[in-house]
Amino acid sequence: MDRQLNVGVIGLGGISHAHIKPYQANPRSNLMAICDIDEAWLMRQSKELNVNNAYVDYRDLLANPEVEAVSVCVPNYLHAEVVIAALEAGKHVLCEKPMAVNADEARAM
């Protein structure tokens, strides 16, 4: 690949930096969007990470056509909902573990 992959991170809890730092260090990725339900935290992270596209609702991030891939770093019980929405939006998805809270959710994903 000769160009950067535009990525977003959904959920800015502790594990998110295991995704964010490698994205920022890789010349083939462009961390262009972040999302968290805590708006104050989101704004601080947006400034600290120098990411202009900051969203409180993950659906708004997924609606951004420039975002090609997402890391899903939300609490485990939300993985299926967010992953399915991301896939339906045509995004490549990297989901933090565990993939789902049960086999039915995993199959749906």
Q: Which residues participate in catalysis according to the annotation?
A: 97
- Which residues pair with residue 90 across a beta bridge? none
Helix (H, G, I), strand (E, B), or coil: what is residue 81?
helix
DSSP string covering 5-57 = EEEEEE--SGGGHHHHHHHHH-TTEEEEEEE-S-HHHHHHHHHHHT-SEEESS
Residue 29 and residue 4 in contact, taking contact as beta carbons nearer than 8 Å? yes
Cα–Cα distance, 34 to 7 (Å, whole number): 9
